[in-house]
Structure 1
């Protein structure tokens, strides 16, 4: 049986897959080709140091997952990037508890960068921190 952390990260990846026409990878290496619609890569990130409550013993996390968003679409690149960020925000806002698995899910603002690619169109990319608030009965679960 998967841990609460793994269950939540899987549910987040599934939620991100509801964004139409944009593939979502989990923990993968950036592929050589970026689809015209863009690409998202979810990284597990860092659960951080938990807050602890006793009786019953619970570990409360503010887990910082990272979503890499990449667009390489020539002239419309900036507009596609902006639309993709908006659709990610709408997906997260539509299910702030990941079907009841989390106490709260929130995305932070991206910091876009333009990356030059030799012999190809420039890539626009950003990392979007996604904070997952949840509790677990054991720090290893």
Structure 2
């Protein structure tokens, strides 16, 4: 049976997969070829130190997952990147609780960088932090 953390990260990946045509990988290495529509790689990130309540015992996390957003194009790379991050924001805003699994989900602003690629179009990429607020009665469950 998956842990609360794994269930929530899987639900986040599934939510991101509702963005049409843009592949979402989970914890994988960057592929050699970036699809023309872009690519997202969800990293587990860190749950951080929980706040603890004692009656009843509960651990309250502000888990910081990391979403790598990557676009490679010789035409309008900036526009494609901006459109993709806007669509990510829209799907998160449409389901702030991941169907009731989280108390709240919110994305932070990305800090994009341009990466030159020898003999190919440059890459625009950013890590987009996604904060997952949730509670569990056991930090390992």
Q: Same fold, TM exceeding 0.5?
A: yes
Backbone CA RMSD of aligned residues: 0.5
Q: Give every structure 1 segment of 4 or more consecutive aligned residues whose post-TM-superposition deviation is greater than 4 Å.
A: none
- Aligned equivalents of 1:137 and 1:115: distance in 2? 43
Residue 123 of structure 2 corresponds to 123
The superposition leaves residues 84-130 of structure 1 with CA deviations (integer Å, 9 ceiling, x where unpaired) of 00000000000000000000000000000000111110000000000
- Aligned equivalents of 1:78 and 1:42: distance in 2? 21
Q: TM-score, normalised by structure 2?
A: 0.99
Residue 21 of structure 2 corresponds to 21
Q: Secondary structure at the match of 2:55?
A: coil
| 1:72-87 superposed matches below 5 A | 72-87=72-87
Q: TM-score, normalised by structure 1?
A: 0.99
Gaps of 5+ in 2: none
Residue 3 of structure 2 corresponds to 3
Gaps of 5+ in 1: none
| 1:62-81 superposed matches below 5 A | 62-81=62-81
1:46 aligns with 2:49: no
Q: Secondary structure at the match of 1:2?
A: coil
